[in-house]
Amino acid sequence: MEIYSGHGQPGHWKVRSDSGAGMKFIDEYRDRQIVMTLAEEIRRISRSPVSLMEVCGGHTMAIQRFGIPSLLPDTIRLLSGPGCPVCVTSRQFIDQAIAFSRLQDVTITTYGDLIRVPGSTSTLDREKAMGADIRIVYSAMDAVDIAQKNSGRRVVFLGIGFETTAPASAAAISAAYRKKTGNFFLLSSHKVMPPAMAALVDEGVKINGYIAPGHVTTITGISIYSDISEKYGLGCVISGFEPVDLMESILMLVRQHENGEPKVEIQYRRAVRPDGNPIARKLLDEVFEYRDDWWRGLGILENSGLGIREKYGEHDAERMIDAVVEPTREDKGCICGEVLKGVSSPKDCKLFAKGCTPQNPVGACMVSNEGACHAYYRYNR
């Protein structure tokens, strides 16, 4: 990948400063004037109270980082949803990763966020300090490279995230399978979004509409939301991640609400195609199969997780690596689950900013950059 001055949008990564081609970074989507105009329009049309949930952790972070709540009228309440990969990952998964890391011949490869998440009695960060071979990678494919360069070690990649990161894990498994990299394994905690969005409504969480995850939808397409609007009567606007995107999405949802016409709309048109990315979906389907999975705060949801298919079983860490995993202990007092469901705000938690801080997190929501508690702690205490 190349990064040079003057380039911006993904897809323009190879534009050099001197070429004059391509878009100017993302300034258009951070334009104060446009944001203010949108804010004014929202204030003008918003009459009745409305609760909107941003599903994706990336949205939560952007909303807090840009101070968007300070621009909205009192009629609008924003709730954080279950779309932070680290936050919904079970403590049992962390315990299992820690157990693997304690094996002499195992190297753990992971996205960075995960290393500070508390397991039952330790964190990957602490295991690393005690000598475990734990490496932060930026893509699943890097983990395959590490496996190829270290044939004497079993290299486990911790696969977390939704439809956005799962295709990368699928591609890594597929590459390891093709190249016969027998020492590469995936520990999958990959999940899919729609069951969680439906479960929240089934559980009685009071929301009027979803700010739906833009990047997930680039893969899945918009059909995954038809139930949400038809069966549950909720608005669903697929949003980008910049302030202008978010303000426009909020405006679209408020308009739907005021007109009593909940529907699926795409705000993030520059990235989302209605039919998504069929190639990525094919790859997902080739490598993974649906299974029931556990979500922090939501419990076990039917067909919400991605397990590795039998064909690729030799790269499945769960099947292939034996380790003694300590019994899982949940922390008392932490209301991560309620926060993830949007029932409580981080500030409702007794531990918030007291017993639980980013340097001494109790729950995962305080660890991840995209966790609601972390975002509130950093930007809105």
Partner 1 sequence: MKKEDKILLGHGSGGKLSHELISRLFVKHFQNPWLDKQTDSAILKIQDENIAFTTDSYVVDPIFFPGGNIGKLAICGTVNDLAVAGAVPLYISAGFIIEEGFSFSDLEAIVKSMAEEAKRAGVKIVTGDTKVVNRGKCDKLFINTAGVGSIENKNAHIGEGSLIRPGDQIIINGFVGDHGMAVLAAREELNIRSDITSDCASLSTLINNILHSTDGITFMRDATRGGVATVLAELAGKRQVGIHIEEDSIPVRPQVRSFCELLGFDPMYVANEGKVLIIARKETAGEILKILHRDELGREARIIGHITSDHPGRAWVQTSIGGKRILDMLAGEQLPRIC
Smallest gap from residue 273 Cβ to partner 1 (A): 18
Please pick, from the candidates 111, 184, 185, 294, the single residue that binds partner 1 as defined by CB under 8 A: 111
Smallest gap from residue 340 Cβ to partner 1 (A): 16
Smallest gap from residue 335 Cβ to partner 1 (A): 20
Smallest gap from residue 206 Cβ to partner 1 (A): 26
Binding mask 176-215 for partner 1 (x = CB under 8 A): ---------------------------------------x
Smallest gap from residue 85 Cβ to partner 1 (A): 5
Binding mask 138-157 for partner 1 (x = CB under 8 A): x---x---------------
Please pick, from the candidates 82, 161, 235, 363, the single residue that binds partner 1 as defined by CB under 8 A: 161
* Distant-in-sequence, close-in-space partners of 204: CB < 8 Å, separation ≥ 6: none
Binding mask 44-83 for partner 1 (x = CB under 8 A): --------------x--x--xxxxxxxx------------
User: Cα-Cα-Cα-Cα dihedral of 238, 225, 250, 218, to 10°?
Assistant: -10
Structure-token pair, residue 310? 């039998």
Query: Are the CB atoms for 235 and 263 separated by under 8 Å?
Result: yes
* Distant-in-sequence, close-in-space partners of 90: CB < 8 Å, separation ≥ 6: 189, 294, 295, 296, 328
Structure-token pair, residue 54? 């941003």
The amino acid occupying position 374 is H
Nearer to partner 1, 79 or 86 (CB): 86
Largest CA distance in the chain: 65
Tell me the C-alpha distance between 339 and 381, whole Å. 16
Structure-token pair, residue 363? 């729950």
Is position 162 an interface residue for partner 1 (rule: CB under 8 A)? yes
Element (H, E) at 265: strand 264-266
Half-sphere exposure (CA, 13 Å, Cβ side) for 215? 17
* 85 alpha carbon, distance to own chain's centre: 4
Smallest gap from residue 126 Cβ to partner 1 (A): 6
Nearer to partner 1, 16 or 291 (CB): 16
Q: Give the relative orientation of helices 57-65 and 243-259 as an angle to the nearest 10 degrees.
A: 110
Applying CB under 8 A, the residues found at the interface with partner 1 are: 1-8, 17, 25-26, 30-32, 35-36, 58, 61, 64-71, 85-86, 111-113, 115-116, 125-126, 128-130, 136-138, 142, 160-162, 164-165, 215, 243, 357-360, 368-370, 377-381
